[in-house]
């Protein structure tokens, strides 16, 4: 049977599967769940919530040799990491070293591979159907892994229907227009996926921290951003925004990696340490921006990113599950398949006769 720590209730047994109502675990970290050494291992399975009469989800725990794969040990990170509309954000309360139900990278390999495969499959349907588009926004402090996420997660996409746009310091031409002017041309059209490596949020983050704008201006920009994202959503664009959350020690460790690795030397910037000195100001700016702009149609997710492998797992799961929920399907063929098959077989016979001649 299942043993737990803290005030988590004893699980109920149903047909060999242990079920724990997650509502009873409110406020507790999933790592507090612990099994006795009796041949059980923890697994987490998402279920059809509507069929459970109001129960949001359950923890399901099976036996050690259960054929269900490693993917099922993964929790629903959309629920866990989402910034709910209207909620305040306190990044200091979120552990950037969190690892979910996986002890290390090796134990998450199958789950990451599963979700990356799903990303490719969903994109194929998205591209063919051309009813939806997806916009993925990556924001973070320096060295938190925006480039790494693009490289290790979004290479699952076919480049024919996906593109990455980066937004750094605006050019003189861009500064001569409103702050969203340079963003609009990169919003994906139906059938496309766009990944913003930094984004329109730079204009309520960097500009605020460096005192280039005042509170009235960044507050107005929050409203403009919400309007811009709402309009995009009305045009069938699914928007997912990720803040990759690392701590100061992890940032410094990654700065050290850049110094020691010639292949990363090019990433070193004079601004690395001057921006690091503004850490608290950036955290405050991120917290306010996410609280003001996380909406049902364009949610923010705070991803614990000290462990790169966990970052990849969480982001890939959230994007894959969200695309799955679009309920896409391949379009019906625009030709008469019976007639096309007849032509195909006629051509095969013709080639055989030609080869035999």
pTM of the model: 0.80
Among all chains, which residue has been given the structure tokens 């379009």? Answer: 331
pLDDT of residue 268: 86
Predicted confidence at residue 276, as pLDDT, reads 95
- The residues facing 13 across adjacent strands are 18
pLDDT at 270: 83
Residue 69 confidence (pLDDT)? 45
Per-residue model confidence (pLDDT) at position 181: 98
**Separation between Cα atoms, residue 107 and residue 110, nearest integer Å:** 7
pLDDT at 269: 86
Residue 255 has a pLDDT of: 92
Q: Which residues of the chain have pLDDT under 50?
A: 1-72
* CA 238 and chain centroid, separation: 12
pLDDT at res. 176 = 98
Sign of the CA dihedral with 221 first, then 86, 99, and 322 last: negative
Q: Which domains does the chain have, with CATH numbers?
A: 12-68 (no CATH), 77-324 (3.40.50.300)
Q: Compute CA distances 135 → 26, 170, 320, whole Å.
A: 31, 21, 13
> Residue 247 and residue 304: Cα distance in Å, rounded?
9
In this structure, the number of other CB atoms found within 10 A of the CB of residue 219 comes to 13
Helix (H, G, I), strand (E, B) or coil at 176: coil
Look at residue 74 in the predicted model and tell me its pLDDT. Answer: 58
Q: How far apart are CA 134 and CA 319, in angstroms?
A: 9
What pLDDT does 355 receive?
Answer: 77
């Amino acid at each position: 049977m299942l043993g737990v720590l803290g005030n988590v209730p004893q699980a109920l047994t149903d047909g060999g599967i242990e079920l724990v109502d997650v509502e009873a675990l409110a406020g507790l970290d999933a790592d507090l769940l612990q099994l006795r050494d009796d041949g059980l291992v923890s697994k987490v399975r998402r279920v059809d919530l509507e069929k459970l009469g109001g129960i949001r989800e359950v923890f399901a725990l099976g036996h050690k040799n259960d054929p269900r794969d490693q993917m099922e040990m993964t929790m629903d990170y959309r629920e866990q990491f989402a910034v709910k509309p209207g909620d305040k954000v306190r990044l200091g309360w979120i552990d950037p070293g969190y690892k979910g139900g996986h002890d290390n990278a090796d134990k998450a390999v199958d789950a990451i591979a599963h979700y990356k495969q799903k990303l490719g499959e969903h994109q194929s349907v998205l591209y063919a159907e051309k009813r939806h588009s997806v916009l993925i926004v990556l924001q973070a402090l320096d060295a938190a892994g925006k480039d790494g996420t693009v490289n290790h997660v979004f290479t699952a996409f076919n480049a024919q229907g996906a593109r990455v746009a980066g937004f750094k310091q605006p050019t003189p031409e861009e500064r001569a227009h409103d702050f969203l002017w340079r963003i609009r041309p990169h919003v994906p059209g139906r059938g496309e996926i766009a990944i913003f490596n930094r984004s329109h949020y730079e204009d309520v983050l960097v500009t605020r921290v460096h005192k280039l704008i005042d509170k009235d201006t960044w507050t107005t920009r929050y409203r403009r951003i919400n309007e811009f994202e709402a309009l995009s959503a009305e045009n069938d664009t699914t928007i997912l925004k990720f803040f990759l959350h690392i701590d100061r020690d992890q940032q410094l460790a990654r700065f050290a990696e850049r110094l020691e690795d010639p292949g990363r030397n090019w990433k070193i910037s004079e601004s690395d340490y001057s921006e690091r000195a503004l850490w608290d100001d950036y955290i405050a700016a991120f917290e306010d921006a996410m609280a003001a702009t996380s909406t049902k149609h364009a949610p923010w997710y705070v991803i614990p990113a000290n462990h790169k492998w966990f970052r990849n797992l969480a982001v890939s799961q959230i994007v894959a599950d969200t695309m799955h929920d679009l309920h896409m399907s391949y379009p019906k063929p625009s030709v008469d398949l019976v007639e096309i098959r007849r032509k195909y077989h006629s051509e095969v016979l013709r080639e055989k006769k030609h080869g035999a001649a």
